[in-house]
C-alpha cells in the first residue's frame, strides 16, 4: 500500500525549468498500524491546530520552553534580496583578488552544510571549497599541505563565536598567514560567519577581516543551511543562490501554515519519522542517490541532535549499504531520496523488497541537485514536527554542552595528564603494548567477569559485542584522521557487525561527531553500544599560544566524551592505538572479525529450546 506524502505540485518556471508535481511528492509503503497512527495524528496538524501554532512560533507545540525563540529558519531569504546581492558582490571581488581556494573552518552545522554542498555541486564554476572540522594533527597537516596559503580565503564559521575547535583552527591559520603576509594583510584573507556581538565578531573587527556575515540569532546551527552559514559557502562554490532559494521557498510554501497536513510534505515526513520512532522503529535509515552525497550526513546531525534527548529520539543511520531485507530487525524506517527523472531500477528493487518484507519505506524525489534547497527546508520542518511528536525540545543540545564542559575540565589539567586513560572514569582493561583497551569502571568489571582477567583482547571485544540486543545499535567512534583508507576499514568493520548481529550500525569521526550524533549517543535511547578508537599522534601540532597542542585537545575531547557516556550509563570499549594508525586499524579489524567468530560459535553452542 502506498499513500502520498505531498501532492501539492506547485507549478511555475525557474530558469526555464518547470517545477513539476513530482518534485514535491513522496510515497510511503508502511504496515497498516503505522499508517493508521500517522493518519490519526495528522488530524491534530491542521492549519487551525498544531501546524498553525508552529508557524505562529508557539512553544507549547513542543515543551513550552524557549522553542519559539529558535524558529527564524521558517523565514527563507528572498532569492533577489539584499543578502543574495551582498554575497554575489563579495564573491565577485574575491575572485578578482585571486583567491583560488576557500578553506572553511567550522564544526557541526557550520561545516556539515558546506561539506554537503561541496560534495553535491563540486566544481560549480566558483572557488574550490575545502572544509576542515577536526583537531586531529594528521588531518590538519594534510589539509594545510593541500592549499596555497597565499591564495586561500579562510572562512571562520561559528555561531557562538567560541567553538573550541574552530577557535584553535582560526588561531593556527591566522598565525600561518601572518608569518607570510604580515599582521595588516593577514586579516584581508579571513572572513567570519558568526552571530553579532560574539567573541569571533569582535576578534574579526580587531584583526581587520575582509568581511563579517552575521547569523540570525533565532536560527540554531543545525537549522542554518539557508542562512549565511550555508549561503556564503554556496556562493563561493559558484552555486546559483537565486535558484537554490527559489526551490527552498517553493517547499516552504508547500509546508506553509495553510497547507493541509495530508498534503504538507514537511508535516507528513515528520509524522512518519516521529510515530515510527514511538512505535520502536527509531533507526531512520537514509538511502540517498549517489548525486546527493553529503545530504545524509547533514540529515544525520539534524535528526540526532534535535531529537536524541530525554531518553528518546531518532537514531539516524547514514552510509549503511542496503542488503537482503531479512537482515534487518523491526526497528527500521527507511527514507530514500532519488535524483533526476530516470528511475534507479536497482535501488527501487531494493526498496520494494524492503516494503514487501514489512519495513516502512518513505520515498522522496529531487528533480535535480538544486532541489537540495527544498530538501533542507523539508527536513528542518519535518524534524521540528518529529520533535513535537516525541515530546522533546528540538532546538537545544544539552548533552553536547556536557561534553564541552568535560573537555574543558580535562584540558585545564595541563600537559601531562593521563588523557589516554579517558580521565577519571576509565581503567585499563587490557594492554598489548600496541593496543590498549579501556572501559568505564563498572562496565569493565562486568566484561572481566564474562571473560576472565587473562583472556585475550578478542574475547573482551566479543564480550562487548554480546551486549547487543534487538533494538540496539553499534557505533564506531574514531578519533582519527578522517581519510578514505581509514574510512574504508571502518565501513567494512561496521558491516561485518551488522551481518553478524542484525543491528543498525554507524561510523563517526571525532571530534566532529560530538557536534552531531554525540547528542543522541548520550541523551537519546540507551541502547547504543560504542567502540571508541583513539591513537597516539606521532607528529603533533602546537597551538599558537603554546599552552596546548591539537593532539592533547583531541585526547581531551575523547576523554570528555567517555566521561559523559559513562555518567549516562552508556556502554563503551575504547581501543587506543600506540603505533602507526593504518596497521593499528588493520589489527582492530582482525580483532573484531575474531570476536564476531567467537560470538557466532557461542550462539551455535546454545541448545535449541
User: Over the stretch 411-452, which tens digit does the pLDDT of each residue have?
Assistant: 877 654 444 444 556 677 777 778 999 999 889 999 999 998
Nearest to 585 by CA among 542, 531, 539, 505: 531
Band (566; pLDDT cuts 50, 70, 90) = very high
Q: Quick check: 499 pLDDT over 90?
A: yes
- What is the mean pLDDT of the segment spanning 332-341? 95
Give the span between the Cα atoms of 531 and 520, in whole angstroms: 16
Mean pLDDT of 58-66: 98
Q: What are phi and psi of 156, to 5 degrees?
A: -100, 115
User: Residue 254: which pLDDT band, with cuts at 50, 70 and 90?
Assistant: very high
Q: Which helix (H) or strand (E) holds 559?
A: helix 550-567
pLDDT at 423: 56
Is-cis flag, bond preceding 511, omega within 30? yes
- Mean pLDDT, range 473-502, rounded to an integer: 98
Is a pLDDT exceeding 80 seen at residue 85?
yes
The yes/no answer on whether domain 2-51+267-389 falls in CATH 3.40.50.2300 is: no
Sorting pLDDT into bands at 50, 70 and 90, what band is 6? very low
* Nearest residue to 542 (alpha-carbon basis) of 212, 141, 222, 145: 141
- Mean pLDDT check: name the lowest of 129-133, 413-417, 485-489, 493-497: 413-417
**Torsion sign (Cα): 561, 514, 552, 531:** positive
Which whole-number Å values give the CA distances from 43 to 9, 50, 356, 381, in the listed order?
Answer: 22, 9, 28, 17
pLDDT, tens digit, 9 for 90 and up, residues 342-364: 778 899 999 999 999 999 999 99
pLDDT at 15 over 70: no
pLDDT for the residue 24: 60
Give the model confidence (pLDDT) of 26-37 as tens digits.
899 999 999 999
Question: Which residue's C-alpha cell is 563579517?
Answer: 212
Residue 491 has pLDDT above 60, yes or no: yes
* Residue 188 clears pLDDT 90, i.e. is over it: yes
Grid cell at residue 358? 514489512
Non-local CB neighbours of 342 within 8 Å, separated by 6+ positions: none
Buried b or exposed e, range 214-230, using 16+ CB within 10 angstroms: ebbebbbbbbbbbbbbb
Could you report the per-residue pLDDT of 33-50, keeping only the tens digit for each? 999 999 999 999 999 999
What's the distance, Cα to Cα, between the start and end of the chain in Å? 37
In terms of Cα–Cα distance, which of 33, 43, 499 is closest to 279? Answer: 33
Q: CATH number of the domain at 82-239, please?
A: 3.40.50.10490
SS3 state of residue 567: helix
**Cα–Cα nearest to 105, from 214, 223, 233, 295:** 233
Q: How far apart are CA 169 and CA 181, in angstroms?
A: 18
Is the predicted pLDDT of residue 471 greater than 50, yes or no?
Answer: yes
Using alpha carbons, list the distances in angstroms from residue 103 to 118, 318, 328. Answer: 12, 25, 40
* Measured distance CA(291)–CA(541) in Å, rounded: 36
What are the cell numbers at 168? 584553535
CATH 3.40.50.10490 in the chain: give the residue spans: 2-51+267-389, 82-239, 398-605
Q: Count Cα atoms within 13 angstroms, Cβ side, for 480.
A: 28
Range from 7-11, 214-218, 227-231, 496-500 carrying the lowest mean pLDDT: 7-11
Tell me what the mean pLDDT of segment 171-199 comes to: 97
HSE-CB at 357 with a 13 A cutoff on CA atoms is: 19
Q: Are 292 and 299 contacting, i.e. CB atoms less than 8 angstroms apart?
A: no
DSSP string, 215-245: EPTTS-GGG-TTSHHHHHHHHHHT--HHHHH
The CATH number given to 398-605 is: 3.40.50.10490
pLDDT of residue 275 exceeding 70, the answer is: yes
How many CB atoms neighbour CB 601 within 10 A? 10
CA distance to 278, 333, 348, per residue, from 355 (Å): 19, 10, 10
Task: Spell out the long-range contacts of 249-254 with Cβ–Cβ below 8 A and sequence spacing 24 or more.
Answer: 249/76, 249/78, 249/79, 250/10, 250/12, 250/19, 250/23, 250/24, 250/374, 251/24, 251/373, 251/374, 251/375, 251/377, 251/378, 252/74, 252/76, 252/377, 253/10, 254/6, 254/8, 254/10, 254/24
Amino acid at each position: 500500500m502506498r499513500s502520498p506524502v505531498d501532492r501539492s505540485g506547485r507549478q511555475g518556471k525557474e530558469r526555464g525549468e518547470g517545477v513539476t508535481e513530482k518534485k514535491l511528492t513522496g510515497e510511503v509503503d508502511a504496515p497498516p498500524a503505522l499508517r493508521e497512527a500517522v493518519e490519526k495524528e495528522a488530524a491534530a496538524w491542521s492549519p487551525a491546530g498544531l501546524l498553525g501554532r508552529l508557524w505562529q512560533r508557539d512553544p507549547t507545540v513542543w515543551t513550552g520552553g524557549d522553542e519559539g525563540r529558535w524558529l527564524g529558519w521558517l523565514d527563507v531569504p528572498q532569492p533577489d534580496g539584499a543578502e543574495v546581492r551582498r554575497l554575489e558582490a563579495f564573491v565577485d571581488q574575491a575572485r578578482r583578488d585571486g583567491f583560488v581556494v576557500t578553506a572553511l573552518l567550522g564544526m557541526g552545522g557550520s561545516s556539515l552544510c558546506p561539506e554537503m554542498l561541496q560534495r553535491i555541486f563540486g566544481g560549480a564554476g566558483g572557488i574550490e571549497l575545502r572544509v576542515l572540522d577536526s583537531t586531529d594533527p594528521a588531518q590538519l597537516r594534510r589539509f594545510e599541505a593541500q592549499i596555497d596559503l597565499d591564495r586561500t580565503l579562510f572562512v571562520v564559521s561559528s555561531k557562538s563565536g567560541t567553538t573550541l575547535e574552530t577557535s584553535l583552527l582560526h588561531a593556527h591559520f591566522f598565525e600561518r598567514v601572518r608569518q607570510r603576509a604580515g599582521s595588516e594583510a593577514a586579516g584581508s584573507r579571513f572572513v567570519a560567519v558568526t552571530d553579532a556581538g560574539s567573541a569571533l565578531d569582535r576578534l574579526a573587527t580587531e584583526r581587520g577581516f575582509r568581511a563579517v556575515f552575521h547569523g540570525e540569532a533565532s536560527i540554531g546551527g543545525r537549522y542554518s543551511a539557508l542562512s549565511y552559514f550555508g549561503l556564503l559557502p554556496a556562493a563561493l562554490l559558484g552555486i546559483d543562490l537565486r535558484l537554490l532559494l527559489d526551490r527552498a521557498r517553493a517547499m516552504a510554501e508547500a509546508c506553509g501554515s495553510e497547507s493541509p497536513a495530508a498534503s504538507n510534505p514537511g508535516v507528513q515526513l515528520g509524522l512518519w519519522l516521529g510515530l515510527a520512532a514511538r512505535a520502536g522503529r527509531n533507526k531512520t535509515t537514509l538511502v540517498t542517490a549517489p548525486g546527493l552525497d553529503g545530504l545524509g550526513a547533514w540529515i544525520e546531525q539534524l535528526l540526532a541532535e534535535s531529537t536524541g534527548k530525554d531518553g528518546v529520539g531518532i537514531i539516524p543511520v547514514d552510509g549503511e549499504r542496503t542488503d537482503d531485507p531479512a537482515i534487518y530487525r523491526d526497528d527500521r524506517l527507511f527514507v530514500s531520496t532519488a535524483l533526476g527523472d530516470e528511475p534507479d531500477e536497482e535501488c527501487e528493487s531494493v526498496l520494494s523488497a524492503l516494503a514487501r518484507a514489512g519495513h516502512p519505506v518513505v520515498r522522496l524525489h529531487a528533480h535535480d541537485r538544486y532541489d537540495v534547497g527544498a530538501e533542507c527546508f523539508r527536513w528542518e520542518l519535518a524534524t521540528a514536527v518529529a520533535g513535537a511528536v516525541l515530546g522533546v525540545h528540538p532546538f537545544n543540545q544539552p548533552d553536547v554542552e556536557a561534553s564541552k564542559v568535560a573537555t574543558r575540565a580535562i584540558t585545564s589539567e595541563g600537559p601531562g595528564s593521563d588523557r589516554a586513560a579517558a580521565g577519571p572514569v576509565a581503567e585499563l582493561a587490557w594492554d598489548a603494548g600496541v593496543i590498549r583497551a579501556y572501559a568505564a569502571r563498572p562496565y569493565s568489571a562486568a566484561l572481566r567477569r564474562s571473560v576472565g582477567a587473562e583472556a585475550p583482547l578478542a574475547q573482551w571485544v566479543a564480550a562487548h559485542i554480546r551486549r547487543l540486543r534487538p533494538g540496539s545499535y553499534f557505533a564506531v567512534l574514531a578519533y582519527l584522521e578522517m581519510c578514505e583508507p581509514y574510512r574504508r576499514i571502518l565501513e567494512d568493520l561496521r558491516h561485518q557487525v551488522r551481518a553478524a548481529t542484525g543491528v543498525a550500525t554507524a561510523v563517526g569521526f571525532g571530534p566532529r561527531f560530538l557536534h552531531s550524533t554525540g547528542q543522541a549517543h548520550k541523551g537519546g535511547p540507551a541502547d547504543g553500544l560504542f567502540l571508541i578508537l583513539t591513537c597516539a599522534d606521532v607528529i603533533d601540532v602546537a597551538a599558537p599560544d603554546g599552552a596546548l597542542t591539537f593532539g592533547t585537545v583531541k585526547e581531551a575531547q575523547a576523554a570528555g566524551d567517555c566521561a559523559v557516556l559513562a555518567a549516562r550509563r552508556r556502554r563503551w570499549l575504547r581501543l587506543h592505538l600506540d603505533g602507526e594508525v593504518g596497521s593499528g586499524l588493520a589489527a582492530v579489524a582482525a580483532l573484531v572479525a575474531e570476536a564476531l567468530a567467537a560470538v557466532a560459535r557461542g550462539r551455535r553452542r546454545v541448545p535449541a529450546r
